[in-house]
Chain A
Amino acid sequence: MSLISTRDLTKAFSPAVVALDNLSLDVSPGIIGFVGANGAGKTTFIRILLGLLAPTSGSAAVLDMDVRGDQMAIRRVVGYMPENDCLPIDVSGADFVAHMGRMSGLPFQAARERAAEMLRHVGLHEERYRLIGGYSTGMKQRVKLAQALVHDPKLLLLDEPTNGLDPAGRDDMLSLIARTGTEFGISVIVTSHLLGEIERVCEQLIAIDGGKLRYSGPVAAFTELTERLVVELDDESPDLAAALRSRGLDVDGNATQMRITVRDDSTYDVIRDAAAELGAPIARMHLTRHKLEELFRDQVVAHG
């Protein structure tokens, strides 16, 4: 069964503003990261899956249900956590999550029980009887996750779930997402503009930029694609870069700092040998990530 399948999916808000450009994807169940810079079309994609936006052309299906014809059936089995604020202030967390469960078709008693269960799962206990207006950002994010889970969906769509959280809160949210995906057996699509945090919890990755598909596949391969070794030198050593290039490495940078693509462990040996030969004073070496934007720019250049 295909989790999500799109064919030439295009959404143009106007001829000049194309949010999604001929996107063709096939995603199988699991925890899927959906990355792209702000404005890349992530939210548009999710809203189309929910039937909240109509595609301009092309088709999209969620769990083999068409987004145009079966949107009500899709919404029954999908839980959605929007990026922005979406909670009322003067209702208690318990009441609100139960209400949302009933909206999705759960009977009154079942909705109350599942609301309590889900709020406990996300880590809200006695607070759930207080009004949401008094919650911290982290607690609100938890309520947002709980309301997306209350009707036991087959697929969770989480739009930037770590937005506005402090580092500890981000960690909590990410491990909560990982647990939900692995232990509950619910497929999760989680969007982020931060590649670093998303690859920790995801098995598959989809990257889009400017509405175009850039990558779709396992996380590991994408990590290799984006990882760079930064070598900093104490003193200028103009020959080192050339020496490394002659040994087959992909190097860019200047005489005191360069970025090198790591192919495998032998890359480190090559650098060590070249530096020893030239007497280049290496100050430090560390792994870094391309920013998403840089990566896409590079790829455009490479393809062009």
Chain B
Amino acid sequence: MAETTAATAKAGALYDLGYQRYTGVRLDRANSVRTLFGFSFRTAFGLGRGARSKVIPSIILGIVFIPAIVSVGAASTTGFVTLINYAGHLQFTSFLIALFAAAQAPELVVTDRQYGVLTLYLARPITGILYALSKLAALIAAMMVLTFGPQFLLFLGKVFIAASPWAAFKDEWTILGPLIVGTLTVSAFVGSVALAISSFAGRRAYASASVIGFFLLVPAAATVIRSLATGETKRYLILAHPINVITGFANWIFHIEAKRRTQVGRADLPGSYYFAVMLAVIVVATTVLILRYRRSEA
């Protein structure tokens, strides 16, 4: 029953229903982590945010999914089952997900710092490190949508367009392992670097510029240094080039011979080297991120 107070008449505002204490269940810290993960995952796509926040994620989602959709669609109507290959698609998306990470990693961490929301989070039952790891997991998960999503669509396409889906599935299912490991590694590689860089920026624009800078300038610098080097050093310097590292890794995990004329092909390094470099970068970037938020633990 809503009894109105004197204030109602004045402000036309306050209905006094009396204060209800909350007596229901209170969940544990894992719930806080899941909540932050879910909220951040939605933020990465601009969900629950203003219309402007949805523009860039929508465009990038469109660009990575449309080739896969068109490819599957064309194959199903013509019955002609040559689809884009997985490694090719992973390389094609690697630049786009770098762009996505540059645009959205700052949305996850820079705004919390810039607008002071981080203070509110840290006054809740969650530590600085858990905050950082929840954000990282959310960004990687969002990037998996962009990397694994279209690939999985291609997989489904290959299976269901085939004359005998079951036979096709038996032929194809072994690709799912490399597909998951491959897209997860690339997502974690790009995502951890982007988030670590963003965690130091005061403004979203600086963070985005720094992340794009990393994925443009580091390859450029690596190429220049590489052109000056000779012999064995030259071969190994390919590992300093993030995009080539992704290419080398994608070739390795999908068992594809690198094209002779590409840098990766000429370097001719074992594929596991690329994988090792990516894991090392993921570990370093995550450590930097944790150190950045550790102080908040007190």
Chain A residues engaging chain B, CB cutoff 8 angstroms: 50-54, 71-73, 75-76, 78, 80, 82, 84-91, 95, 99-100, 102-107, 110, 114, 117, 120-121, 123, 125, 131, 133, 147, 151-152, 183-184
Contacts and interface: CB of A to CB of B under 8 A. Distances in A.
Interface residues of B, number: 42
Contacts of B19: 121, 183-184
Sort A-B residue pairs by CB-CB distance and give the 10 closest, nearest first: A152-B22, A86-B116, A80-B123, A105-B26, A102-B35, A90-B50, A103-B124, A54-B298, A184-B19, A105-B27
B31 interface: yes
Contacts of A99: 35, 39
Given A53-B298, A106-B26, 4 more contacts: A87-B117, A89-B111, A99-B39, A102-B35
B85 interface: no
Nearest to A124: B13
Contacts of B48: 91, 95
Q: By DSSP majority rule, is chain B's interface helix, strand, loop, or mixed?
A: loop
Contacts of A123: 11, 13-14
Contacts of A80: 119-120, 123
A106 to B, nearest CB: 7
Q: Which of the listed residues A71, A78, A90, A117 has the most CB atoms from chain B within 10 Å of its own CB?
A: A90
B133 to A, nearest CB: 15
25 contacts: A50-B123, A52-B119, A52-B298, A53-B298, A76-B26, A84-B116, A86-B115, A86-B119, A87-B117, A88-B111, A91-B48, A91-B49, A100-B124, A103-B32, A103-B35, A103-B121, A103-B124, A105-B27, A110-B22, A114-B22, A117-B20, A123-B11, A147-B120, A151-B22, A183-B19
Contact of B31 (A72, A88, A102): A102
B54 to A, nearest CB: 10
Contact of B36 (A89, A103, A114, A131): A103
Contact of A107 (B24, B36, B119, B126): B24
A216 to B, nearest CB: 25
B25 interface: yes
B192 to A, nearest CB: 23
Interface in B16-75: 17-22, 24-29, 31-32, 35-36, 39, 48-50, 52-53
A156 to B, nearest CB: 12
Given A86-B120, A184-B19, A52 B296 contact: yes
A164 to B, nearest CB: 14
A71 B31 contact: no
Interface string B69-113: 000000000000000000000000000000000000000000110
B105 to A, nearest CB: 16
B125 interface: yes
B49 A90 contact: yes
Contact of A75 (B20, B112, B123): B123
B116 A82 contact: yes
Contacts of A103: 32, 35-36, 121, 124-126
A234 B17 CA distance: 56
B15 interface: yes
Contacts of B13: 123, 125
B122 interface: yes
Given A86-B116, A86-B117, A88-B115, A105 B50 contact: no
Contacts of B49: 90-91
Contact of B298 (A51, A89, A147): A51
B123 A105 contact: no
A151 B123 CA distance: 12
Given A51-B298, A87-B115, A90-B53, A107 B39 contact: no
A65 B17 CA distance: 33
Interface in B145-186: none
Nearest to B28: A105
Given A51-B298, A102-B35, A152-B21, A75 B120 contact: no
B125 A105 contact: yes
A72 B29 contact: yes
Nearest to B53: A90
A91 B48 CA distance: 7
B148 to A, nearest CB: 27
Nearest to B14: A123
A90 B54 CA distance: 11
Contact of A104 (B122, B125, B298): B125
A131 B125 contact: no
A54 B19 CA distance: 34
B27 A107 contact: yes
Contacts of A104: 26, 32, 124-125
A91 B46 CA distance: 10
A84 B52 CA distance: 26
